[in-house]
């Protein structure tokens, strides 16, 4: 996902900031280093903590170089509204910090740090997706409530971004999930409140013509997974309940967020970009719809295995294989387009 984020930022960012296009050729070394660093880290997870730490350090340096390019892109713009790019840059810096801290944790044999760094990294990525959603999607844009829009035009943005901010703070201040009941109750209340408002925002769009477009409709479904993740998170933070139930709800929230919202949005946007860059007029074709439908079934399988105590043991590996199959088929089909000449004959 971070490399997809980098590609999106350096494609859409110059347009938002009214800057010249960024050459992909100039990004090749940080991208290759980032991918190589993760390849070493994955090997190190099985072989050696030192190798994994080195791989994460390489990935951290590469991502820091890409983040520096984002900051330079922002600083050179004269556009008044730069808050979306600013927010993405701050989240990118948080990812740099997570990679650095994870490398240090492995190097110093402090595995207990990794739980917090993983949570911070996940919510930093989620923050970027939410910022882009506010900029591009109708169900998080302006026009929801006139009184609020008149006083705080970007209130939906700050509302949804408050969730990653609180979750990142919780990962730092409460790494062991041992916070007092009052703190857990406050987290649950915030998540339930944001979930309620997001649901109302989404329901405003259900009868609008924009939902007849396949791309918007698929992004809308992904946004509903975000809302479900908030409800599951609120239930998992409710301080009165059993530890086993909290863990099940927490795992369900994680996969509703990662597979449903982030995975669904990634699949739709990557399909759109690959279609546009390869010169195909239809951004979302039948094959992309089938992959998206398979993803929805995969999320349901994963949540069922998390929430249903008597669920068959086969559900979890089945969901994992389904996600691997979706990613593999997409890469074989859409990824191949990016290395071929455009079908419309235009340069690129």
* Across 10-24, 43-57, 145-159, 211-225, least confident range: 145-159
* pLDDT band with cut points at 50, 70 and 90 for residue 144: low
Interval 324-342 mean pLDDT: 84
Q: Is the pLDDT of residue 200 over 80?
A: yes
* pLDDT band with cut points at 50, 70 and 90 for residue 348: low
Q: Is the pLDDT of residue 340 over 80?
A: no
* Cα distance between residue 97 and residue 8, in whole Å: 21
* Cα distance between residue 209 and residue 103, in whole Å: 48
* Cα distance between residue 72 and residue 82, in whole Å: 13
- Is residue 3 exposed (0-12), middle (13-18) or buried (19+ Cβ within 10 Å)? middle
* pLDDT band with cut points at 50, 70 and 90 for residue 345: low
The H or E element spanning position 165 is: helix 155-173
- How confident is the model at residue 139, as a pLDDT? 64
Q: Is the pLDDT of residue 141 over 80?
A: no
- How confident is the model at residue 241, as a pLDDT? 65
Residue with tokens 């079934």: 297
Two structure tokens written together for 171: 């990962």
- How confident is the model at residue 347, as a pLDDT? 63
* Cα distance between residue 95 and residue 92, in whole Å: 5
| Residue percentage of the chain with pLDDT more than 70 | 94
* Across 27-41, 165-179, 185-199, least confident range: 165-179
- How confident is the model at residue 61, as a pLDDT? 96
Two structure tokens written together for 304: 């069922």
The full set of domain ranges for the chain reads 1-141
Asked whether 48 and 107 are in contact (CB, 8 A), the reply is no
Question: Which one has a higher pLDDT value, 287 or 295?
Answer: 295
Question: Closest by alpha carbon to 51, among 37, 61, 63?
Answer: 37
| Residue percentage of the chain with pLDDT more than 90 | 45
* Cα distance between residue 295 and residue 289, in whole Å: 10
- How confident is the model at residue 337, as a pLDDT? 77
Q: Please, what is the average pLDDT of the chain? A: 87
Per-position b or e across 185-195, b if 16+ CB within 10 A of its CB:
eebbebbbebb
- How confident is the model at residue 242, as a pLDDT? 67
Two structure tokens written together for 42: 């994955």
**Could you give the 3-state DSSP secondary structure of residue 143?**
coil
- How confident is the model at residue 341, as a pLDDT? 74
* pLDDT band with cut points at 50, 70 and 90 for residue 67: very high
For 234-282, what is each residue's pLDDT tens digit?
Answer: 998 887 766 767 788 989 999 999 999 999 999 998 888 887 777 777 7
Q: Is the pLDDT of residue 304 over 70?
A: yes
- How confident is the model at residue 62, as a pLDDT? 96
Tell me how crowded residue 18 is: count the other CB atoms within 10 A of its CB: 9
Q: Is the pLDDT of residue 207 over 80?
A: no
* Cα distance between residue 98 and residue 100, in whole Å: 5
- How confident is the model at residue 239, as a pLDDT? 74
For 120-138, what is each residue's pLDDT tens digit?
Answer: 999 999 999 999 888 877 6
* pLDDT band with cut points at 50, 70 and 90 for residue 183: confident
- How confident is the model at residue 165, as a pLDDT? 94
* Cα distance between residue 28 and residue 320, in whole Å: 31
CA atoms within 13 A on the CB side of 101: 18
* pLDDT band with cut points at 50, 70 and 90 for residue 161: very high
- How confident is the model at residue 271, as a pLDDT? 85
């Amino acid at each position: 996902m971070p490399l997809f984020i980098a590609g999106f930022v350096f494609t859409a960012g110059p347009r938002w900031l009214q800057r010249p296009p960024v050459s992909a050729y100039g990004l090749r070394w940080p991208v290759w280093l980032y991918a190589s660093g993760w390849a070493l880290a994955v090997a190190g997870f099985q072989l050696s903590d030192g190798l994994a730490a080195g791989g994460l350090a390489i990935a951290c340096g590469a991502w820091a170089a890409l983040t520096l390019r984002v900051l330079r892109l922002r600083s050179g713009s004269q556009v008044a509204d730069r808050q979306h790019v600013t927010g993405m840059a701050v989240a990118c810096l948080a990812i740099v910090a997570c990679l650095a801290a994870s490398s240090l944790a492995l190097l110093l044999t402090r595995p207990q740090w990794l739980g917090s760094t993983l949570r911070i990294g996940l919510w930093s990525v989620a923050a970027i997706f939410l910022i882009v959603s506010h900029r591009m999607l109708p169900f998080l844009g302006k026009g929801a409530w006139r009184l609020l829009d008149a006083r705080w035009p970007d209130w939906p943005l700050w509302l949804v971004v408050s969730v990653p901010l609180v979750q990142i703070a919780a990962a730092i201040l409460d790494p062991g999930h041992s916070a007092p009941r009052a703190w857990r109750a406050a987290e649950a209340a915030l998540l339930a409140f944001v979930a309620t408002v997001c649901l109302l925002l989404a329901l405003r769009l259900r009868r609008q013509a924009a939902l007849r477009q396949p791309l918007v409709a698929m992004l809308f479904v992904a946004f509903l997974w975000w809302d479900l993740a908030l409800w599951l998170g609120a239930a998992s933070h409710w301080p009165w309940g059993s530890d086993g139930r909290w863990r099940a709800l927490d795992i369900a929230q994680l996969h509703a967020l990662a597979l449903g919202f982030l995975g669904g949005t990634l699949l739709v946007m990557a399909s759109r970009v690959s279609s546009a860059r390869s010169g195909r007029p239809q951004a979302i074709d039948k094959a992309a719809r089938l992959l998206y439908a398979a993803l929805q079934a995969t999320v349901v399988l994963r949540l069922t295995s998390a929430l249903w105590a008597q669920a068959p043991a086969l559900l979890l590996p089945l969901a994992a294989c389904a996600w691997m199959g979706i990613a593999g088929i997409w890469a074989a089909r859409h990824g191949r387009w990016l290395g071929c000449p455009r079908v419309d004959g235009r340069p690129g």
